[in-house]
Structures are given as C-alpha cells and as structure tokens.
C-alpha cells in the first residue's frame, strides 16, 4: 500500500512537471526574415532604413507569465540606402565602434498568449542603445501557427533625449525621435 501511495505521488509530480513544461516555450528568431525598420522625419524629407537582427531567443511560460531572453541587432547593420549617411550614423550617432549592439530584453508582459492564432500583448523590458539601458514597454502583436511565431511591434526612440548626437546639419534638420517597427519571425519550441 505504501508503494502505491509513493508511486501515485511520484506520478502526480511527473505529470505536473510535464504540464508545466508544455507551457514553457522558446521562440528562436530567424535573422534572415526578421528586422528592425526605422523612419526618421526631416525638413522636406524622411529617411527609412533597417537594422538586421543578428540573433534572438525568447523564453516564455503562458501559465506563469514569465518571459526572458534577448533580441540583438548590430549597430553597424543600420542601412538607409545611402552609404555616406549610414557611415555617419554608425560612427557619429551610434558610436558603433564602442557600442556594437542594440538589444531588447523582455522582463514581463501583460495579456494572454494564445496557443494558436493572434495575441496582443504589452511587453516591458530593457532596451539598450549606445550602452545605456532604458525601460521600455511596447505593444506587440503575436501570431502562432503550428511551430512558427511572428511578432510585430512599434515604438518611438527619443534618441537625442537619450544622449545620442543629433545628425542635423545646416538646413537639413531631422526629428529628435525615430520611429521603430520591429518585425520578428522564427520557430517555436
């Protein structure tokens, strides 16, 4: 009888562990189909470009709301289709030789992640730019289809307020904030 009770307790503990593991998932970003688009308005013109994600992995647990991991884009991957402007952005604004990476580390989220289909979340975490960590909360739209996950979100970076150089020169004035559109795709395990 004692053996049956011990076996039952062990079996229940094993089942609880398996159920908990079923809720824990890892989203691995595919850098070839993920990017960080940016738009910077200016007097009479607007600059559009992308930063390429080098790697990223996010672990989350739908049952507890736990989230952790990081998304990383090299500062030198910024591309606005103008080599001179990009060289200035990398060297003078982002100081990419000193601050090689731009990253986001999620710490918490509000909302519910559906097992399949669409979910809307508010993801809070640490956005590191120019070597300085900034608290950031951004709305994210998540879509899960089988083992594929995509995530999209938009936010504003007040780069001048955060201590980066204003690239405005003479009559070519640009905004002091840059609009970011995050687009991540990859696999779910």
**Of 12-16, 55-59, 163-167, where does mean pLDDT reach its minimum?**
12-16
Q: In terms of pTM, does the model score above 0.75?
A: yes
Quick: pLDDT tens for 124-136. 999 999 999 999 9
Tell whether the model's pLDDT for residue 7 goes beyond 80: no
Place of tokens 């982002």: 94
> Which bin fits 34, alpha (ψ -120 to 50), beta or left (φ > 0)?
beta
Task: Go through the domains of the chain in sequence order and give each one's CATH number.
Answer: 25-188 (2.40.128.110)
- Quote the pLDDT of residue 158: 96
Could you tell me the pLDDT band of residue 1, with boundaries at 50, 70 and 90?
low
């Amino acid at each position: 009888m004692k053996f049956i009770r011990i076996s039952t307790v062990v079996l229940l503990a094993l089942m609880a562990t398996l159920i908990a593991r079923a809720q824990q998932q890892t989203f691995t970003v595919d850098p070839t189909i993920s990017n960080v688009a940016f738009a910077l308005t200016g007097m009479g013109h607007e600059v559009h470009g992308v930063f390429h994600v080098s790697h990223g992995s996010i672990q989350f647990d739908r049952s507890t709301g736990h989230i952790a991991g990081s998304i990383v884009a090299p500062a030198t991957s910024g591309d606005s289709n103008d080599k001179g402007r990009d060289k200035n952005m990398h060297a003078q604004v982002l100081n990419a030789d000193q601050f090689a990476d731009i990253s986001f580390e999620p710490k918490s989220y509000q909302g519910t992640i559906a097992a399949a289909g669409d979910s809307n979340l508010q993801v809070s975490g640490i956005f590191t730019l120019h070597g300085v960590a900034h608290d950031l909360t951004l709305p994210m739209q998540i879509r899960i289809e089988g083992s594929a996950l995509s995530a999209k979100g938009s936010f504003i970076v007040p780069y001048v307020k955060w201590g980066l150089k204003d690239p405005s020169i003479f009559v070519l004035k640009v905004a002091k904030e840059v609009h970011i559109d995050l687009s991540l795709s990859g696999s779910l395990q």
